[in-house]
Structure 1
């Protein structure tokens, strides 16, 4: 019997999504058309934020966010070790130094208490960060109010890496509103809450930052007359490069898909919530810990991460992982602590740097969760876990 694999995550595309893309393919604009600003406005309305700049990836969005905040050589940027490498790489792109703040073992997010401890020490040795990038792991917001208050006390800027969290809430406020941050970043990769194929966005309430990020997104170019240098009356100038930027633009094809997907955003999150709640109920008797959701947070459940109680299991984490994959359940691990990656170890990081992050890494497994996961598929995942862990 052929095994049909169950992925840990996948996109959910309807005929409406496909038709929206086909309309663009049949139009005059494939890129730099009217749909990119329209998609930006939709996100702004949804998040109740002043400005949105969409990009070709969340990695690009993180990079231009750092650039807009003036991150450069010699600056310090701190982030969570439990995230995709892009959360740290964006600082290195700017020539800055990167460091990590250990996680809260319950929420798996950057610990605000550990951040405060690290800031106290850094202040004494005049080594404070210029930017802190808290990561909303699996779709649950960090303790942004405390992090924001610390930013006011210690003088750093805040970029929320909300790649997992569009559609989520913190204290009943939409993630992306930037009430407690300077900039928020979203991802529209296929396994995220909504997708544009590849894509990302930055949100901000500071128009000066939005203006800079638009320039960084498009080669450092402007067409605004008030931003251009004076020229001869005989010369034709319809744009000028006024800084060094990148080609990080989103196409109208991607924006069309995003505009169609965002209509279903709330339904996607609601379905993920239902799947997560069912997992919570079906897994409660197994030797593992299901995800903890803080009362202040409405999680998007981009990921459903369990932590194995290895003292009560006869198998190792790797054995459980391999057994599930052999049966067609393509679970994953989110994430290896960034500083344990070979490249980061070359920068001087070693095991033991963030104790909670490493403890989590040795126990974590990501189970399948996405809107199209059927009840039968979920039950198969649960039944298989019961067999393996029993």
Structure 2
């Protein structure tokens, strides 16, 4: 089975992890700090705060933005559940903005229209989670301008976009978002096994993010309500969580970061081969967002189902039967039973629903060979041209 994505590990990664295992620190130690500093330097951000996974990163980013009961978070329906759930963890209400039919990212034009209505109704969002779907940023310039006008905080969920650029700068630099979240899950661009990080340029946010990831504790006298009792003393000053990343994970992340350019280069080469080989088929291929250069975490095509005799499911299952581990990113979040219980229904976000009825994620990962890719292309071409599963 050719998977849709997988990690790429080598002996240097193994050696980095073993070195930490043989050291005095296994968690919240010097390797973690080095990883945070290295990631911040790579993306031109002031600070990085590493946590156990990107869902935790989204949660504490929302808390650092003071999202809470009675507030409103908006995001895209075409994303993983965590981009919306992070708002619910904070007690906030969640709503969605439909996707651009070309880029499949949150549509900034629809966002502008929805904000006009929300301002009139007195129900503006406090946080917008802008998802860099498949590795490509949204129209972040327009979104940042709208944030300034309407007063909401932008969190870019760049779980797919380590190594991507927008407006000529690395995603995560903080030019267009107060905070940016990265994921280091094994199928992502680089991996720590599990892990995530929040990037920000604001020291007060970084300080609070660090406190929130570790039980809401502080040893800083500035934040205590009485003098320290001694060197052992700490106070819990707010409700926090145990979202810490280990030095073992950070060592793997540091080693992987050294290979980021090679990983991105290979992904872009594979994406270019797909773009050239599939252009004559009844497919809608990925379209570039203005100013964005994708990291190509995913390569998604949309079947032009009106031109096909096979159904979306039949194509998907035939590719799986041929040993190709295609996937589907994503089921629109508003159609999940939990969100239906909150009042959402079919037809609320029609473009995301059309996308879902047509999308297939094809394999793309750095270790994928051109022979494997040619086989994927050959099998997809056979299905779409013969109409036989």
TM-score (norm 2): 0.97
- Residue 199 of structure 2 aligns with which residue? 203
1:223 CA drift (Å): 1.7
Distance verdict in 2 for CA 1:330–1:229, change over 3 Å: same
For 1:132, the equivalent position in structure 2 comes to 128
1:70 to 43, 66, 69: 66
> What's 1:357 paired with?
352
- Which of 311, 320, 323 is residue 318 of structure 2 equivalent to? 323
Match of 2:240 in 1: 245
2:289 is equivalent to residue 294 of structure 1: yes
- Alpha-carbon distance between aligned partners in 2 of 1:106 and 1:361, rounded to the nearest angstrom: 14
Deviation of 1:293 (Å): 1.3
CA distance in 1, matches of 2:19, 2:27: 13
Matched residues in 2 for 1:294 and 1:40: separation? 29
- Counterpart check, 1:48 vs 2:38: no
User: Residue 164 of structure 1 corresponds to which residue in structure 2?
Assistant: 160
Q: Deviations over 1:75-111 (max 9, x none)?
A: 0000000000000000000000000000001111100
1:28: how far off? Answer: 1.1
> Secondary structure at the residue paired with 1:292?
coil
Q: Among 145, 148, 151, which residue is 1:152 paired with?
A: 148
2:55 equivalent in structure 1: 59
Q: Which residue of 2 aligns with 1:214?
A: 210
CA distance in 1, matches of 2:257, 2:311: 40
Distance 1:238 1:30 in 2: 22
Partner of 2:373: 378
Separation (CA, whole Å) in 2 of partners of 1:180 and 1:104: 19
Deviation, 1:232, is 7.1
Distance of 2:46 and 2:239 partners within structure 1: 25
Between 293-302 and 303-312, the greater mean CA deviation after superposition: 293-302
Q: Distance in 1 between matches of 2:337 and 2:70?
A: 22
Residue in structure 1 matched with residue 276 of structure 2 by the alignment: 281
Structure 2: distance between partners of 1:237 and 1:126: 48
What SS class does the counterpart of residue 301 from structure 1 fall into?
Answer: coil
Name the residue aligned to 1:226: 222
Q: SS of the residue aligned with 2:193?
A: coil
Count of aligned positions? 385
Aligned to 1:97: 93
1:313-343 Cα distance to aligned partner (Å, 9 max, x none): 1100000000000111010000010000111
SS at match of 1:324: helix
Counterpart contact for 2:138–2:289, Cα < 8 Å: no
Structure 1's 236 and 208: CA in aligned 2 closer, same or farther, altered over 3 A? closer
2:254 to 259, 265, 285: 259
Q: Deviations over 1:196-224 (max 9, x none)?
A: 00000001111111111110000001122
* Superposed CA RMSD: 1.0
| Corresponding position of 2:342 | 347
Inter-partner Cα distance in structure 1 for 2:78 and 2:269: 25
Q: Deviations over 1:269-326 (max 9, x none)?
A: 1100000000111111111011111241110000000000111111000000000001
Structure 1: runs of 5+ lacking an equivalent: none
User: Residue 358 of structure 1: SS of its match in structure 2?
Assistant: helix
3-state SS of paired residue (2:48): strand
Matched residue of 2:186: which SS? coil
